[in-house]
């Protein structure tokens, strides 16, 4: 299991490099260079810099009742935060899907970000779906030094309310 995780981390690190602007993925540009980016370190908060793995993904309806997990019972995901950029990849981690299951869920995006300790705003400039090329806004709550809960406020395709993602620090 440890070597599989190492392979995944290496693969995601390569994906991080490939997902940089100019490598052929869907991109949004700022031709006039007017956008000012600020990183977590510029805001004085290093808490989020590092590599994180997704350990839980939940969805809730408007009444607060839990729905089927948005990425299946075994979500797989990685988030890598440098001091200026991040990349997030999330997918349904099951080896195979039941015959009646919807298509496998997969989401990825990258961009510069701002983090004030409770609100994460990623200025997405590369994504698995072009409709995600906008600010990805998340409420962040640290539940320990190496664990946080992210709740989308805006930016996802479809409904944002009632989603919750739990991330644990890898390194």
CA distance 38 to 120: 11
Residue pLDDT tens, the chain, 171 long: 443 333 333 333 333 333 333 333 333 444 444 333 434 434 435 899 999 999 999 998 878 889 889 999 999 999 999 999 999 999 999 999 999 988 999 999 999 999 999 999 999 999 999 999 999 999 999 999 899 999 998 755 555 568 999 999 997
| CATH architecture, range 2-26+36-169 | Beta Barrel (2.40)
Angle at 79 between CA 74 and CA 81, to 5 degrees: 165
CA distance 117 to 111: 18
- 121-140 per-position pLDDT tens digit: 999 999 999 999 999 999 99
CA distance 132 to 130: 5
Find the length of the chain. Answer: 171
Cα 76 to its chain centre, rounded Å, is 11
Q: Which residues contact 16 (CB under 8 A, 6 or more apart)?
A: 80, 87, 110
Q: Where are the domains of the chain?
A: 2-26+36-169
């Amino acid at each position: 299991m440890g070597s599989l995780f190492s392979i995944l981390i290496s693969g995601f690190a390569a994906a991080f490099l490939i997902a940089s602007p100019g490598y052929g993925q869907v991109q949004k540009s700022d031709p006039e260079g007017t956008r000012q980016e600020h990183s977590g370190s510029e805001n004085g908060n290093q808490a989020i810099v590092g590599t994180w793995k997704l350990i839980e993904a939940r969805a809730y309806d408007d009444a607060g009742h839990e729905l089927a997990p948005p990425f299946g019972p075994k979500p797989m995901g990685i988030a890598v935060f440098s001091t200026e950029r991040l990349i997030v990849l999330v997918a349904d981690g099951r080896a195979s899907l039941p015959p009646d299951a919807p298509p496998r869920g997969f989401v990825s995006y990258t961009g510069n970000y701002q983090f004030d300790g409770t609100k994460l705003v990623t200025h997405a400039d590369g994504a698995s779906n072009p409709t995600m090329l906008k600010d990805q806004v998340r409420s962040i709550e640290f539940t320990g030094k190496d664990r946080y809960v992210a709740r989308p406020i805006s930016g996802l395709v479809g409904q944002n309310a009632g989603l919750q993602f739990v991330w644990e620090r890898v390194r």
